[in-house]
Structures are given as structure tokens and as C-alpha cells.
Amino acid sequence: MNIQIVEDDRSLSEGVAITLSDGNDFHKEYTIQDAKTGYLNYGNSLSLIILDLNLPDGSGYDYLKFVRDRSNVPVLILTANDLEMDEVTGLTLGADDFLTKPFSLAVLRARVASLIRRSEITKEASGGASGENSLIYELDDMTFDFDKLIFTKGNEEIVLSVNEQRLLKIFLDNKGRVLTRNLLMDRLWGNDGDFVDENALSVTINRLRSKLEDGAGKKHISTVYGQGYRFDD
């Protein structure tokens, strides 16, 4: 299991690597101090990326965009920026979690374990099942293959983050039903939901909407005011 740590503070990045390797099954942690090295060392074999927003040669947001254009690997943002807008921007661009400095290393390790666990559940969910637990769905000109984790619209691939994949699967398995925000928070983040800002759900839903809907066609995700959300064919 490979984790890339993109953090300009070498002592912090090395401390994070030691913390994650202590008593865990993480085989390699790649510590990187700048965006350029991150680009050069990016690879599809990564299990998780821990990303600082303030890098000496660029913005972590740019690196996040680079990653999201290529894969759905979980991304955890570490930053000294404690403004709500920074968190919303990171989540909007596809980050899966957000942790503000200073932070507890124990909390960091728990967040990392949770992200990897959710990612593995998404990959293994409902293997070989059919009916409500089907892994392949077709909707309009879109195909969602949760077995191979390939999502397409027309002839183009849609890149979904881990949370977007999980949210889409929940919606597809509950078409026509109104799902409350609390239920979705619980299904997406479980016990970790207590640490997640409610904005994260709104951002994830809006990102999924933007990827599935082009603004002129059919709307699939509806807001049922005062109740929650509903997904329709």
C-alpha cells in the first residue's frame, strides 16, 4: 500500500510517514516537499495522497486538479488554512477529507485508515451480486461499472472521487426514494461523520450533479426541501 505525502515541511512529512507506518500495514510512504516532485512521482499505484495546500512552487489545489483528472485515489488535505472557504474549495475540487494544522497524529492516522477502508469497501462492494446490489448500471447515455470502477458518459470517462462513487451507488440503489441528509452522512462517513462538516455532503452532491448533468438535459438528483435528496431515472 503506497501513500504519497506532499508537504513542504520535511520534519512534518517524515513524522506523518513514521506515524502511519507504526503498527499499520502501510508498506511505503513517499515524502515530497514540492509540487514538481509530486507531479514527477505521481502514479496509479497510489492508495492515498496526503496533500498540503501551501507548497513552495505552486498551489496544492493545482496538484489536486491534476490528480482528479487522472484517478479517484483518496486525497486528504492538510493545511494551516482554517477558513471555511478553503475547505469548501478543496472538497469542491475532489478532496475526500480535510484536516487543519495543528492536528493530532492519532486523529490523522484514524482519518487515513477510514479513507482507505472506504476506498476498499467501494472496490469490493456487492461483488458478483445482481438486482439491488448490481455493479453495472445504465442511465441515459451513461454507464456505471462499480466492478471495474469505470464510469462513462457517451464516449467519455467520468472521473469520480471515492465519496462520489459511494454517493452514486447509494442513489442508484435507492432510486425514487427520499434520502435524508443524516442518512447520507451516515452512509458516506459512518462514525467519522462527527468530524465532517455538513458542507462536505452538499459539495459532494453538487460535484456529482455537475458530472452527471450537463445543465440542458434531464435532472437526476433532486433536492426535496426540508427532507433530503431523491435520485430519479
Give yes or no: residues 6 and 118 share one domain: yes
Give yes or no: residues 16 and 104 share one domain: yes
Give yes or no: residues 161 and 112 share one domain: no
Task: Give the count of domains, the chain.
Answer: 2
pLDDT band at 214 (very low <50, low <70, confident <90, very high): low
Give the end of a domain, one of 122, 144, 179.
Answer: 122
Range of the domain at 193: 130-231
Give yes or no: residues 81 and 191 share one domain: no
Give the end of a domain, one of 122, 147, 179.
Answer: 122
CA distance 195 to 133: 29
Give yes or no: residues 8 and 116 share one domain: yes
Q: What is the pLDDT of residue 134?
A: 58
Q: What is the pLDDT of residue 229?
A: 93
Residue 203 and residue 227 in contact, taking contact as beta carbons nearer than 8 Å: no
| pLDDT > 50? residue 206 | yes
Give yes or no: residues 76 and 48 share one domain: yes
Q: Report residue 44 CA to chain centroid gap.
A: 15
Angle at 70 between CA 69 and CA 72, to 5 degrees: 95
Give yes or no: residues 118 and 137 share one domain: no
Give the end of a domain, one of 100, 122, 144.
Answer: 122
pLDDT tens for 138-169 read 888 899 988 778 899 888 888 888 889 889 98
CA distance 125 to 167: 13
Cα–Cα distance list, 175 to 121, 132, 171, 178 (Å): 21, 10, 6, 8
Find the mean pLDDT for residues 7-24. Answer: 82
| pLDDT > 60? residue 25 | no
